[in-house]
Amino acid sequence: MERLNKIRSLDELLREAERCRNCLLWNERTNLVFGEGNPNAVIMFVGEAPGFHEDQQGRPFVGAAGKLLTELIESLGLKREDVYIANVLKCRPPNNRDPLPEEINACYPFLKKQIEIISPQILCALGRHAAYVLLGHTVNMNTSHGKYYQVDGRLVFVTYHPAAALYHGKLLDGIKKDFIELKKLYDDVIQQKEEQNKKGEREQLSFW
């Protein structure tokens, strides 16, 4: 999508996404679910696609899975407003079916641009579809969850999809443990940022 190259803000990108006809899902949606949160977030969560409630409200993760995600975000010592939340697909697939490869390809430029504009240090992939898109290859969730990978200068942390965790009790335990690891990673990133800021301030002072 050449047109996205010139875009510099989330507002412009949202307007472009509203006009998108790159797959057929726009035709069936109630609302586009672009994403929401802190445009300067250090951590960005990426889910699969809007479900019924998200489609109704035009906001990501507002149903039962969203309630769990909000609790998990709070377990990091953060509020929902501190992070950014988006999905691989911006329109709801009928009956919540899995995204089709052509829908993922059609929507990916919007996620890519969102990531570029927000520029979070950590991307948290919620489930296998997000992990596939953010890592660039299919993953075995059983072996990849709770781990992070370096991709294009960012850290991609992989965990289960909250809806899957609500469905399978074993995964609920797993996702909670993963968020303990994610908190360590987040705290490390914040500490590094603070050290870099202090170093920058010292260099500035010695320059004057």
The DSSP H or E segment spanning 67 is: helix 64-75
Contacting positions for ligand URA (CB under 6 A): 47-51, 54, 60-61, 65-66, 87, 163
Residue 87 or 121 with smaller CB distance to ligand URA:
87
Query: What are all long-range contacts of 17-26, with beta carbons under 8 Å and residues at least 24 apart?
Result: 17/90, 17/110, 20/90, 20/106, 20/107, 20/110, 22/106, 22/107, 23/91, 23/100, 23/102, 23/103, 23/106, 23/107, 25/89, 25/91, 25/92, 25/93, 25/103, 26/91
Give min distance, CB of 130 to ligand URA, in A: 8
Residue 132 or 190 with smaller CB distance to ligand URA:
132
Residue 3 or 69 with smaller CB distance to ligand URA:
69
Give min distance, CB of 65 to ligand URA, in A: 5
Residue 48 or 103 with smaller CB distance to ligand URA:
48
Phi/psi for 166 (5° steps) reads -70, -25
Give min distance, CB of 199 to ligand URA, in A: 38
Give min distance, CB of 175 to ligand URA, in A: 13
